[in-house]
Amino acid sequence: MTTTLQATTLPDTISGLLGLEGVLGDVVGGLIGAFIIANIMLITTAIAGPWAKRKITAAFGDRIAVNRIGPFGLLVIIPDAVRLMSKELIVPEGVDRPAWDLAPMIIPFSALLGFAVIPMGSGIQLADPETGLAFAFAAASIASLGLVMSGYASNNKFSLIGALRAVAANIAYEIPLVITAASVVIFAGSLRMSEIVAVQAEPLLTVAGVSIPTWFAFVNPFAFALFIIANLAEIGRNPFDIPEAPTEIVAGYQTEYSSIYFVLIYLGEFIHIFLGGAIAATLFLGGPAGPVLPGFIWFTIKIWAFFLFTQWARSAVPRLRVDQFLEIGWKGMLVLSFANLVLTAIIVGVIA
């Protein structure tokens, strides 16, 4: 079941408030909207990287972590940013420029681009094209180009191995990821993100007077589990962090980067985690839908819950060997994702 009603996007709201129409309204509204969405995610990532990651990891290890600067140590973000960006940018001999310079910019850009079609709340969506889900996956995949460029251009064997591992990971797990998402499209009947969210707003059943929504995590929990596992591999979190694997290949594709370039790669890594959580929330958890609280608050809670899950996996789950990693992807996830797709198609065909 689908709906033909298209949600009002953020640029439309902005251009309406400014009294602008036509192409000028679209351009100005789009630029301001993109600036707002990008800053929301950059602020979120700034909190997650220098502060939340440390606090969560320390909690799992029964440690204290940062607590000296600001309330709960939250203001450590500022000196950390200054410290990292003020370091000398060391350019190793023999690197292939400008590819070496462009790679750290491509990685965060691809993740921010994916947020263009994510519905974050009522009217908080930059664009709502008919192929929104395909666009989100395509934008996220651009990061693979940045990883290959960084590894190949660094003139370092560890970096090259890390880049090759990243490509192998993306191929092995992106196919199951997209196929699993396709099962949601079969249920929803649309690739438009707002319509996928709208379908999940319908009641699934009522228990003791409480209406349970048709979140696809409830309708097809097997697909939800497959998507989360493949998502972990895509964002490079344990047990699938073989592209970096500090105990094996130093830091993988980012070994030769320092200063602002390291910050950009680090930033891109965390934005991709939140993008993975945002896509999972949109496909399986009703997007920004939720009781009582505003939609944007629910969306924030859901992507932070996914971030917490990734940090738990990082702290608790050991890394797989490369051969195990690829075997699970090709022999396990791929087969299960196709089985899920076929079963979903049969069920929906019978019901319809």
User: pLDDT per residue over 264-297, tens digit each?
Assistant: 888 888 999 999 999 999 999 998 988 888 989 9
In a domain, 2, yes or no: no
Q: What is the pTM of this model?
A: 0.90
In a domain, 165, yes or no: yes
226/251: higher pLDDT: 226
Q: What is the dihedral of CA 164, 168, 170, 175, to 10 degrees?
A: 160
**Cβ-contact 180, 231 below 8 angstroms:** no
In a domain, 337, yes or no: yes
User: Is the per-residue pLDDT at 23 higher than 50?
Assistant: yes
Query: What pLDDT does 3 receive?
Result: 40
Q: What's the CA gap between 351 and 347, in Å, rounded? A: 6
Lowest model confidence (mean pLDDT) among 64-78, 215-229, 280-294, 302-316: 64-78
130/70: higher pLDDT: 130
In a domain, 1, yes or no: no
User: Is the per-residue pLDDT at 2 higher than 60?
Assistant: no
Six token digits for residue 343:
């079963």
User: Is the per-residue pLDDT at 247 higher than 80?
Assistant: no
Grade residue 167 by pLDDT with cuts at 50, 70 and 90: confident
In a domain, 4, yes or no: no
In the block, tokens 């047990």 appear at 239
In a domain, 263, yes or no: yes
Query: What pLDDT does 90 receive?
Result: 83
The residue among 239, 169, 234, 220 whose CA lies nearest residue 336 is 220
If one counts the domains in the chain, the total is 1
User: Is the per-residue pLDDT at 1 higher than 50?
Assistant: no
User: Is the per-residue pLDDT at 244 higher than 60?
Assistant: yes
User: Is the per-residue pLDDT at 177 higher than 80?
Assistant: yes
CA terminus-to-terminus distance, the chain: 9
In a domain, 5, yes or no: no
**Cβ-contact 66, 78 below 8 angstroms:** no
Range of the domain at 113: 10-351
In a domain, 194, yes or no: yes
User: Is the per-residue pLDDT at 6 higher than 60?
Assistant: no
The residue-averaged pLDDT of 249-258 equals 77
352/122: higher pLDDT: 122
SS3 18: helix
Q: What's the CA gap between 213 and 201, in Å, rounded? A: 6
Beta bridge partners, 205, equal 212
Query: What pLDDT does 62 receive?
Result: 83
What value does the mean pLDDT of the chain take?
86
